[in-house]
Structures are given as C-alpha cells and as structure tokens.
C-alpha cells in the first residue's frame, strides 16, 4: 500500500511540473476546440527576470478531470501564451490547485497597425524575434531595441521607406531678338519658332508609415535642350528725305510735310550736331525750299530758334 501511495505522489509531482496550454477563449465565453489541458511546456519563466509576471490561483473540484473543465466552469480567460500548472493531477479525482502565470501584455504600434501581444521574453529584441517582427535597415523603433521589457510597455515601430522618384518637366524656350539690316525699322519677323525642351528630375522620397515626409532633389538630367524663338527686328533706316527744316507756330511736337500723310510719325535729325526729335505730321502747305516745318518746341530740341534754318534728315523712327 505504501508503495502505491509513493508511486502516486511521485506521479503527481511529475505532472505538477507539466504545463497545460489552453486556447484563447472565444467571444461567447466558450473554450475553443482543441484546448490543450495538459502537456509539456517548452517555454520557461526565468526566475531572475526583472519582469514580474502576474499569477492567479484557482481550485478545482474532485469531479473535474482537467484544467480545461475548471476553466470552463469559472469562465476564466486564458491566452495561448499563458502558462498553466496543476497539482495534483486532476485525473486523480481528489481536487487540485491550478496556477496560471500570465504572459506580459505588450502593445505594439507597427506602422499603422496596433496589436496587443503577450510574451515571456525578457527584452525587446527577443520579443521581436519571437513574434516574427522584422525591422528594415531604416525602420525606427521606440524604445531602443536593446532595452528590456517592462509592464505597460508600448513599442512603436515606424516603417521607413526611401525610393527614387523620377519626374519629367518641360523647359520653356526663350525669345531672342536680333537686328536685321535688311528689314525696315519698326518691322519684325519671326526667323525661327521656339521649341520647348525636357528634363528629368530625380528625387529621393522618404516615407514613414506610408506618408511622405521628405523629398530631396538628387539629380537633374536634360533629355532635350530647348530652342529659342528668334525674332528679327528691322535695322534698315527708311529715309524720307534730306534737306532744310524751318519752324512755325504749330502745336507741341508736330510738323508739316508736303508728302507724308497726316498721322505719320517721323524722326528728325540735325545733321550738324546729331540731335534728334520725333514729331507727328499734321499736314502740308510748306512754301519755299524747306522739306519740313517744325513746331517751335521741336525745332528748339535740334537748334536755337534764332538759327531759323537747319539741315536735317527725315527718317522712319
């Protein structure tokens, strides 16, 4: 009899060291199918850990033959990561004590996704490995990856992506003006139509959690050079005549000319000193040898009124 009792005690001690892993309770309070009531747990809780894990104790009745039955009766929420121990073996039918060591909950904000994970890992790096959370070379994590896990910890991972973006842009053409000695003054002619060019801009775009936070210009490449539009301006002087100019009582900056129609604008140059004045022809009626009669103020620009008569050149301005 003593041998049987001893065997039972040894068996109970062995079973006490075994760990059951129940499934996560569903929303309706029922235990999920396939609940592992008893089994050997491959995870160990480090007694030297700086993390203190919560522990809960429950008492099973003699008619309950598994930890799962006790969990179902008490509607205990057990997570897959929690560790469960029973002593003695519930199958003995004498009642038992069930202890649940709660895995540490850790809130993880990974990019734009928030997760609540549970673990017995001691540090952040081991936790990430356990949960298969990989970090890219440029990703940022807070707290530092070499830190320890503590209660109520929140880990924030910012997913960083850098990509090259190429954008094509039009290069506007310029307009150039050139003098044409064969074209009359005051006239213009388009010698060549302009054509736009094209360039390629390369940017290094940085995104954090999918949102663009920086855009740096890295290179500019000309794909097609623009061609300027060329407009020729008349440089050929149109001379209406060379002769004598006088003055008469006429409105400001006007002149009389026997051949040019009223409204014609002319440039009058004193050939002796190079002085110029621009006047508006208002009519004819010149008597004598003068080819143009200027208003007093116009004549005074070229020479003193007392001069009376000067030699001038009349040209198109």
8 and 97 in a single domain? The answer is yes
Mean pLDDT of all residues in 294-305: 96
Q: Which of 234, 261, 294 is the last residue of a domain?
A: 234
Closest to 196 measured CA to CA, from 223, 173, 168, 175: 173
Q: What is the pLDDT of residues 144-169, one digit of tens each?
A: 999 999 988 999 999 999 999 999 99
The per-residue b/e assignment along 209-235, b for 16 or more CB within 10 angstroms, e otherwise, is eeeeeeeeeeeeeeeeebeebbbbebe
Question: By the 8 A CB rule, do 279 and 254 touch?
Answer: yes
Mean pLDDT of the chain: 86
Do 113 and 141 fall within a single domain?
yes
Q: What is the CATH number of the domain that holds 250?
A: 2.40.40.10
pLDDT digits (tens, 9 = 90+) for 5-56: 433 443 444 444 443 333 333 333 333 333 333 333 334 444 445 578 999 9
Domain coverage including residue 126: 104-158
pLDDT in tens, 209-251: 999 999 999 999 999 999 999 999 988 889 999 999 999 999 9
Number of domains in the chain: 4
Model pLDDT for residues 253-277, shown as the tens digit of each residue: 999 999 999 999 999 999 999 999 9
Domain CATH number, residue 218:
2.20.230.10
């Amino acid at each position: 009899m003593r041998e049987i009792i001893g065997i039972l005690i040894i068996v109970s001690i062995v079973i006490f060291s075994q760990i059951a892993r129940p499934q996560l309770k569903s929303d309706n309070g029922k235990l999920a199918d396939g609940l592992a009531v008893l089994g050997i747990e491959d995870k160990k809780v480090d007694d030297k850990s700086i993390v203190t894990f919560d522990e809960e104790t429950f008492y099973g009745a003699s008619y309950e033959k598994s930890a799962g039955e006790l969990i179902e009766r008490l509607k205990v929420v057990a997570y897959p990561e929690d560790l469960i121990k029973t002593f003695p073996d519930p199958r003995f039918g004498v009642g038992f004590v069930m202890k649940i060591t709660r895995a540490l909950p850790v809130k993880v904000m990974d990019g734009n996704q928030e997760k609540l994970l549970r673990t017995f890992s001691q540090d952040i790096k081991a936790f990430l490995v356990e949960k298969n959370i990989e970090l890219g070379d440029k990703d940022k994590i807070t707290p530092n990856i070499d830190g320890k896990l503590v209660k109520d910890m929140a880990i924030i991972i910012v997913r960083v992506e850098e990509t090259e973006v190429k954008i094509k842009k039009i290069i506007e053409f310029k307009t150039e003006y050139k003098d044409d000695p064969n074209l009359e003054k005051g006239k213009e002619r388009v010698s060549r139509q302009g054509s736009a060019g094209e360039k390629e801009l390369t940017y290094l775009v940085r995104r954090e959690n999918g949102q663009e936070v920086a855009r740096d210009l890295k290179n500019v490449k000309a794909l097609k050079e623009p061609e300027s539009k060329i407009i020729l301006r008349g440089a050929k002087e149109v001379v209406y005549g060379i002769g004598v100019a006088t003055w008469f009582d006429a409105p400001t900056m006007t002149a009389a000319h026997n051949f040019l129609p009223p409204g014609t604008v002319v440039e009058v140059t004193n050939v002796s000193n190079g002085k110029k004045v621009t006047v508006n022809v208002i009519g004819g009626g010149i008597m004598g040898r003068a080819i143009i009669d200027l208003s007093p103020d116009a004549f005074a620009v070229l020479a003193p009124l007392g001069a009376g008569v000067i030699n001038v050149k009349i040209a198109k301005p």
